[in-house]
Structure 1
Amino acid sequence: WVAVDRALRLADRRSFPADRQRWLEVRDRIYEEIMERGWNSELDSFVQSYGSDSLDASSLIMPLVFLMSPSDPRMLSTLDAINRSPQQGGLVSNSLVYRYDVTASPDGLNTDEGTFNMCSFWLVEALTRAGKTDRAKLDEARLMFEKM
């Protein structure tokens, strides 16, 4: 989705030749597929891959690349799911974010996974953007950032 969306923006801004209508249709089909197949209604969250029941911090990028509004109810519930401790099914430990749960999604590496600073910043930014409509999210983002 991002690649096609950015190609459209680039073509528009630089007056590059593009099959604009086709690219719009492709981008919109990808969006619909992500919304339908990337959402897990049991977890009330976007997940690592289609049909998965594993959270993935990469879903925090969705509002950052303008795939969806940071205040979309699905994004807010994804934020809530990720922002729980690993013991509660989430990805956050001491204000730091794991990319995903390696026990639920084995990656073939025979080591424990650490938290990723970038994922922690993604969560802070996603919470900050969601805080425009939910003051508690903004406060949560500030506290998390201060602990990092």
Structure 2
Amino acid sequence: MSTVHTLPLHLRFGDEDSYGHVNNVRYFQFLEDARVQLMSRPAGGLSFMDTIDPDHYTLVGRQEIEYLAPLNFSTVPAAVDLWTTAVGVSSFDLGYAVRDRIESAGSVTSAIAATTMVLVSRSTGRSVRLSGTQKDILGSWQGEPVPFRRARTR
């Protein structure tokens, strides 16, 4: 079963570069904004962020993005679709699709991306095990792997 969360993305005129489309660097900020929003949403009373005590935090371990089409400024909200693609012992993978509008019908996907997040101890700097509650929350967002083109052409 696939659970995709769609989060609105309000573009700013300043997101465009001299080429007239949203700059590639901004996409990583879009992913971060969507990730923080989803991880802060309550899921059965607790958000994922509520389950992290002060001695722990999450770090980006890896990110990959594939640009598919230009994204241009619009006053109509764009969208970031976000889901979990894998949950490990101390890390989890997220998948994303950035689309040109919030309505899925007729929207164009501008980019697909994946992020590996790692739960880390502040005191030791080492990765730590995800709790059962954290795994349950992440599992409730489970979806398909990100369909990168490079994976299909090998």
Q: Give your verdict on TM over 0.5.
A: no
Structure having greater relative contact order (Cα 8 Å, sep ≥ 6): 2
TM-score, normalising length from structure 2?
Answer: 0.24
Q: Which has the higher strand share?
A: 2
TM-score, normalising length from structure 1?
Answer: 0.25
Q: Which has the higher helix share?
A: 1
